[in-house]
Chain A
Amino acid sequence: MTELSNKIKTSEHQFQLLHQRMQGAWRDDRSQEFDKKYMDSLADLLQSTYHMLRSYEHRIRQIENKLSN
Chain B
Amino acid sequence: MSRWIINDVRLYGEIGQELPVLSKGIEEINAEANGILNELLRDLGVDYQETVDEIQQADEEEDTSELEQRKFELKSLISEVEHMIIAHRQIEDDSKRVSDKMQKAQQIMSQFAVIAEHYMGVRSTGFHSHQGNNQDNQWGNRAAKDDYRHVGDTFHYTKTDSLNQLDISKLEQQIKQSSDKGNKISIDKVSQLDFDLLEKNGYSINQNGPNDYSAYKIISK
Contacts and interface: CB of A to CB of B under 8 A. Distances in A.
B122 interface: no
Contacts of A18: 14-15, 18-19
Contact of A14 (B18, B73, B74, B91): B18
Given A41-B98, A60-B40, A67 B6 contact: no
B3 interface: yes
A41 B40 CA distance: 30
Contacts of B19: 18, 38, 42
Contacts, number: 104
Interface residues of A, number: 34
Interface stretch (B24-32, B57-65, B152-160, B183-191): B24-32
Interface centre among B7, B25, B26, B102 (most CB of A within 10 A): B26
Contacts of B108: 34
A49 B26 contact: yes
A25 B95 CA distance: 28
A22 B16 CA distance: 12
A45 B14 contact: no
Contacts of B88: 52, 56
Contact of A59 (B23, B29, B80): B80
Interface in A14-69: 14-15, 18, 21-22, 24-30, 34, 37-38, 41-42, 45-46, 48-49, 52-53, 56, 59-60, 63, 66-67
B22 A26 contact: no
Contacts of B30: 49
Given A42-B98, A52-B88, A56-B33, A28 B2 contact: yes
Nearest to A8: B29
Given A34-B108, A52-B91, A59-B80, A1 B23 contact: no
Given A38-B105, A42-B22, A66-B77, 6 more contacts: A24-B7, A28-B3, A49-B29, A52-B88, A63-B40, A67-B77
19 contacts: A7-B29, A8-B26, A22-B11, A25-B7, A26-B8, A30-B112, A37-B105, A38-B104, A42-B19, A42-B23, A42-B102, A48-B91, A49-B30, A56-B33, A59-B84, A60-B36, A66-B73, A67-B73, A67-B77
